Amino acid sequence: MGSLLATRIKSRRKELKLSQKELAEGICKQGQISRLENGEYTPGSELLHQLAKKLNVSMDYFFDEQILNESTDLIEFKKIAKTFITQRNYESLKYIYDLEKEKSHRLSLSDKIYLEWIASLVDFYVRDRREGAIERLEKALKSTHKADINHLQISNTLFNFYHDTDNLARFDMMKEELTSHLQQLTLNTIEELELSIKFNYNLGRYFWLQKNMEAAIKQVTATIKLCQEYRTTYLLADSFLLLGNLSQNFSERTTVKTYFETAHFLYKQIEDNTEKALAVEHYISDKFQN
């Protein structure tokens, strides 16, 4: 058991590209991680729980020999899925999900929950099973801890689903919960940072749809500032596009055009999102002709 624990922790740490120091930060001393990975130290349940949260796995992952290490296929699947989700290309997401779901029986609990989240996106946006998608996520939410990144990811998606199905009471409740949880995040991981950016962007978009322009502008500029502060382009193109849409009725024409041009550059050069780049290019040509 000790050997399996040591192997699992070291393997998962390397998969996430964390140093021993980074894994230990806020949890324990680096030396404890080193001794643990060498099979020289058996941690208590509290430390194991903290390590499981940081490594984004279930406690069973450390001890159950029936749970295999996360395969290279799933790592690649997550990378591709992230691209499709960012581009809102849910048809392609459905295609890779259908190929991957047959392997779900040999994944850790954390990864099974991740695939449930993907399945809910496919159900909601492709198969038009909106109520089923919501029920699937509400059930998955009960299997996660509030501090787990999967819990926050599912909550954020439910937040969107509730809005799109006009379930505004649950939408407002989830908004308050997410605001509270995300304010407590340290943003030490890419997952936490991107989730925070996504939630802030979504809030700005919803304020815009509700014609609450002052709140929308405040939210989207805060989102852009967050991206710039952490030097990430995640949803930056979408944020500048939203800012352009928000400011058309009151900002200088040249300023608004700059927002759309920035979005176009990011879609084309950074995200390699040809479809969105061409759509924005066409809009600029049509709207800002001299």
How confident is residue 101, by pLDDT bands cut at 50, 70 and 90?
confident
Q: Mention every residue, 6+ apart, whose C-beta is less than 8 A from residue 102.
A: none
Compare 45 and 179 and report the one with higher pLDDT: 179
Instruction: Output the pLDDT for position 49.
Output: 82
Mean pLDDT of 49-70: 70
179-183, 223-227, 266-270: segment of lowest average pLDDT: 179-183
How confident is residue 12, by pLDDT bands cut at 50, 70 and 90?
confident
How far is 271 from 244, CA to CA, in rounded Å?
A: 19
pLDDT of 66 above 90: no
Instruction: Output the pLDDT for position 214.
Output: 93
Compare 198 and 6 and report the one with higher pLDDT: 198
pLDDT of 14 above 70: yes
Measure Cα distances from 111 to 51, 55, 96, 219, 229 in Å.
Answer: 16, 12, 15, 32, 30
How far is 91 from 243, CA to CA, in rounded Å?
A: 27
pLDDT of 280 above 90: yes
**Tens-place pLDDT, residues 155-181:** 999 999 999 999 999 999 999 999 998
**Tens-place pLDDT, residues 67-91:** 554 444 477 888 899 889 988 899 9
Compare 219 and 78 and report the one with higher pLDDT: 219
pLDDT of 1 above 50: no
